[in-house]
Amino acid sequence: MLRIHNTLTGRKDPFEPLVPGTVRMYVCGVTVYDDCHIGHARSALVFDVIRRHLEYSGFSVTFVKNFTDVDDKIIKRAHERGKPWQEITAEYIEAYYRDMGRLGIKPATVEPKATEHMAEIIGLVQELIRKDVAYQVNGDVYFQVERYGAYGRLSKRKMEDLQAGARVEVDERKRHPMDFALWKGAKPGEPAWESPWGPGRPGWHIECSAMAMKHLGETFDIHGGGMDLIFPHHENEIAQSCAATGKEFARYWLHNGFVQINQEKMSKSLGNFFTIREIFEKSEWPEAITGEILRYFLLTTHYRSPLDFSDQGLREAKNVLDGFYDLFKRLAEAGQSSSGADDELPFDIGFAEVTFKNGMDDDFNTPVALAALQQLRGAINKLIQKGLSTEARKAAREKFRSLGDVFGLFQLNTWQFNPLKKIAREAVTALKEERMPDSAIETRLAERIEAKKKKDFKLADEIRAELASQGITIEDRPDGTSRWKR
RNA sequence: GGCGCCGUACCCAAGUGGCUAAGGGAGCAGUCUGCAAAACUGCGAUGCGGCGGUUCGAACCCGCCCGGCGCCUCCA
C-alpha cells in the first residue's frame, strides 16, 4: 500500500487515486528565462522518480509538467538582451531539454506552455468574474481572496497572520492586500493577448490551474513542486480553481525540499547556485556517467529533506556506483556451475525487491530503496565467490537493471571513460585531451600480460605504474586476464 | 511578529514507542594476490544536540533550552 505525505493534510495518507489504476499528476515546471540549477534538477528528478515508481507499481500515469513562457522575468531578460521574448523562451526551453536529458529525466506525458492556453486561461478568469470572486480594475483582474473561505488551508496560514508580516507593498486598487492578479494589462511593448479586459497577459498562478484542468480534469490526483511554491503559488491555485469549479482541485500535494550550499538555501538572490550545465561541463566524467552520479547523489536523501550539495557528496556517489558497475562487469563474465549459489539468488533478489518496494511505498523513501540495492550488491558478490552460473549472473544483472530503472540507474552497459565522445564535447580541457585512447591502453595491457607470463614482474609493474599515472586501474583476474578502468 | 522544518558515528543517511540504532562512503586490520586492484571477513555510536517529564519501556511522545535553516516577496 502506497502512502504519500500530503501537504494538505500534513500527514502520510494512503494513496487512492480517483480512478482506480490510473494516476493524474501535475508538477509545476520552470519559468524559461535562465539555465536550470541543481534545485530544478532535484525537483525534476524527484517527480520523475515518483512517476516511474507509480508506473512500476502498475498505475497508468498521465504526467503534466508545464513551461511558464510568459512572465515578468522573461520580459525583463528580453529587454536586457534586446531580443524578442519569444527568442528567450525558445532558447531556455531548448536548454531545459538538454540539461534534463543529460540527467535522464523522462519527458512528461504533456508539457504545455502558458502561451498556448490563452483561451482556457481567459475562460477561467471570466468564470471567476461571473462567480463574483474576481474583479476588474482597469485592464487588470484580481482574485478576491476574502471570497474564498478556505484560503490558507494548504500553507496553514491565517489571513491575519499573512497580513501581519506582509511586506507586500499595498496596491490601492486591490480590495485586500492578499488579492492576486489573474490578468495583467499590458504596458506598451509587453507581450499581450486580446481579452475582454483589453490586451494583457495571465498572472502567474492562473496558468497552472487552466492547464491542469484542461489536461487532467477539474479534480485530479497529485500536484507537486518545490517547497517554496506552497505559498503563495499553490495556495492561490487552490483558491482560484476551487472557487471556479466548486470542486476539489488536486487531492495530494507533494513538495520537495531544497538543495542547499553549506547549509544555506541555494537561490538566485543569494548567488550561491550551480547550474546543471556547469556541473556537466566541469565534470571529469563523461556525460552519461555524470548524469548517473548526479541522480544517485540527489536520491540519497529523502525528497522532503534538505540536501546539501557538495563535491564530496558527488565523489561518494561515484564511489558507490563504481562498486555497482564493478559487480556488473563480473556479472557479464561467464560463470561456473555453482555450489548452491544459484539456488540462493532468488532469495536475495526477493528480499531486496520487497525492501525496495516497501521503502518506495513509504512516501518514496529512496534512501531505503537504495540501501536495499546496496545490500543486494553485497549478497551477490558473496554468491559470485561461491560460484554463480552464467545464467544466474544474467538474471542478477537484469534485476539490477529493472529495479534501477525506477531511479534511472544501472542502465549503462559500460562505466568506462570514452575519450572520443568526450573530445567531441565542447568544453574539453587540455588535460582531458591528453587522455590515453582505449586502443593504446589495450596494447599496453597485452604487453603486461605477456610480461607476467614470463614472470617479468618488473616490466609488469612499470606498465601498471604508467597506466596508473593516466588514472587507469588494472585488476588481474585469476585466469590470467586483466580488466582496466578509469 | 506569525507559520514551519532540522540536529543520529569521521562523512552521507534510514529509523519516529518495544528484538543487539538499517545501509553506504571513508579509515584500519585480515583473507586472496608475484605485488596490486576488486571482492570477501572483522573493527567502528552503551548512544541518537542538552536538560527535565510521560511510560513497564523513548532517538522516537510532551516541555524548556542550545545550535542551524526555511516560508510569510519572484523562487524548484
Q: Which residues numbered 231-290 in chain A sit less than 7 A from strand B, measured from CB?
A: 231-233, 256-260, 263-269
More confident residue, A215 or A452: A215
Q: What is the pLDDT of residues A89-108, one digit of tens each?
A: 999 999 999 999 999 999 99
For strand B, is any atom closer than 7 Å to the CB of A305?
Answer: yes
CB A183 within 8 A of CB A197: yes
pLDDT digits 0-9 by tens, A212-251:
999 999 999 999 999 989 999 999 999 999 999 999 999 9
For residue A307, which nucleotide's C1' is closest to its Cα? B12
**Domain limit, last residue, from A390, A405, A420:** A405
Predicted confidence at residue A423, as pLDDT, reads 32
Q: Is residue A299 part of a domain?
A: yes
Q: Is the pLDDT of residue A420 over 80?
A: no
Residue A267 in 3-state DSSP?
Answer: coil
Q: Which amino acid is at A121?
A: I
- Whether A362 CB is under 7 Å from strand B: yes
Residue A395: predicted pLDDT? 96
Whether A61 and A8 share a structural domain: yes
**Is the C-beta of residue A144 closer than 7 Å to nucleic acid chain B?**
no
Res. A168 pLDDT band, cuts 50 70 90: low
Closest residue (CA) to C1' of nucleotide B26 is A316
Which residues have C-beta within 8 Å of that of residue A215, sequence separation ≥ 6? A26, A62, A64, A110, A112
Got the DSSP string for A294-363? HHHHHHSS-TTS-EE--HHHHHHHHHHHHHHHHHHHHHTS-----SSHHHHHHHHHHHHHHHHHHHHHBT
- Cell numbers that stand for A382 in this block: 558473496
Tell me: do A126 and A179 sit in the same domain. Answer: yes
CATH number at residue A163: 3.40.50.620
Cβ neighbours of A101 (radius 10 Å): 13
Which residue, among A44, A4, A45, A42, has the nearest Cα to A23 in the 3D structure?
A: A4
Whether residue A315 sits in one domain with residue A181:
no
> Which of A4-8, A250-254, A469-473 is predicted with the least confidence, judged by mean pLDDT?
A469-473
pLDDT of residue A178: 87
Is residue A397 domain-shared with residue A443, that is, in the same domain?
Answer: no
Residues A336 and A476 in one domain: no
- State the CATH number of the domain containing residue A354: 1.10.730.10
**Closest residue (Cα, C1') to B41:** A382
Residues shown for chain A? 486
Range from A200-204, A363-367, A474-478 carrying the lowest mean pLDDT: A474-478
Residue A257, classed as helix, strand or coil, is: coil
- Nearest nt to the A304 alpha carbon by C1': B5
A165 Cβ contacts chain B strand, under 7 Å: yes
- Could you tell me if residue A309 is inside a domain? yes
Model confidence at A343, pLDDT cuts 50, 70, 90, reads very high
Q: Are residues A116 and A16 in the same domain?
A: yes
Q: d(Cα A88, Cα A83) in Å, to the nearest integer?
A: 7
- Domain around A232: 3-261
Residue A425 lies in a domain: no
Per the domain annotation, does A119 fall within a domain? yes
A14 and A47 belong to one structural domain: yes
The whole-number pLDDT of residue A425 equals: 34
DSSP A51: H
Yes or no: say if A266 and A273 are a contact pair by the CB < 8 Å rule: yes
pLDDT digits (tens, 9 = 90+) for A277-298: 999 998 888 899 999 999 999 9
Residue A75 placed within a domain: yes
Amino acid occupying residue A443 = T
Whether A430 is in a domain gets the answer no
Is the shortest CB-to-strand distance from A226 to strand B under 7 Å?
yes
What per-residue confidence (pLDDT) applies to A163? 62
CA of A11 and C1' of B58: distance in angstroms?
22
Q: What is the DSSP letter of A233?
A: I
> Of the residues A359, A384, A405, which one is the last residue of a structural domain?
A405
Distance B41 C1' – A357 CA (angstroms): 30
> Do A98 and A136 belong to one domain?
yes
The answer to whether residue A421 sits within a structural domain is no
Is residue A203's beta carbon less than 7 angstroms from any atom in nucleic acid strand B?
no
ipTM associated with this complex: 0.94
pLDDT of A240 reads 95
A82, A167: one domain: yes
Asked whether residue A375's C-beta has any atom of DNA/RNA strand B within 7 A, the reply is yes
CB of A377 under 7 A from strand B? yes
Q: What is the pLDDT of residue A332?
A: 93
Give the strand pairing for A11-14 and A3-6.
antiparallel
Query: Is A314 (CB) below 7 Å from strand B?
Result: no
Same domain for A37 and A109, yes or no, is yes
- Kindly tell me if the per-residue pLDDT of A422 is higher than 70: no
Nucleotides of strand B under 7 angstroms from a protein beta carbon: 1-6, 11-15, 22-26, 33-41, 68-76
Question: Cβ contacts of residue A134 below 8 Å, gap of 6+?
Answer: A125, A128, A141, A142, A143, A144, A182, A240
A476 touches strand B (CB under 7 A): yes
Which of A25-29, A180-184, A335-339, A417-421 shows the lowest per-residue confidence on average (mean pLDDT)?
A: A417-421
Cβ of A365 near strand B (under 7 Å)? The reply is yes
Q: Are A13 and A4 in contact (CB under 8 A)?
A: yes
CA–C1' span, A350 to B16, in Å? 27
Nucleotide with smallest C1' distance to residue A270 CA: B75
What's the confidence (pLDDT) of residue A454? 87
Q: Among candidates A368, A366, A392, which has minimal Cα distance to A380?
A: A392
Q: Give residue A181's pLDDT.
A: 93
pLDDT of residue A263: 74
With pLDDT > 70 as the criterion, what percentage of chain A qualifies? 93
Same-domain check for residues A29 and A157: yes
Burial of A123 (0-12, 13-18, 19+ CB in 10 A): middle
Summarised one tens digit per residue, pLDDT across range A173-225 is 888 888 999 999 998 989 999 999 999 999 999 999 999 999 999 999 999 99
In chain A, the number of structural domains is: 3
> Which three three-digit cell numbers place residue A62?
498521465
Q: Is the CB of A168 under 7 A from strand B?
A: yes
Radius of gyration (C-alpha) of chain A in whole angstroms: 27
Residue A165's pLDDT band, with cuts at 50, 70 and 90, is very low
Q: What percent of chain A clears pLDDT 90, i.e. is strictly above it?
A: 69
Indicate the average pLDDT of chain A: 89
Q: Is residue A481 part of a domain?
A: yes
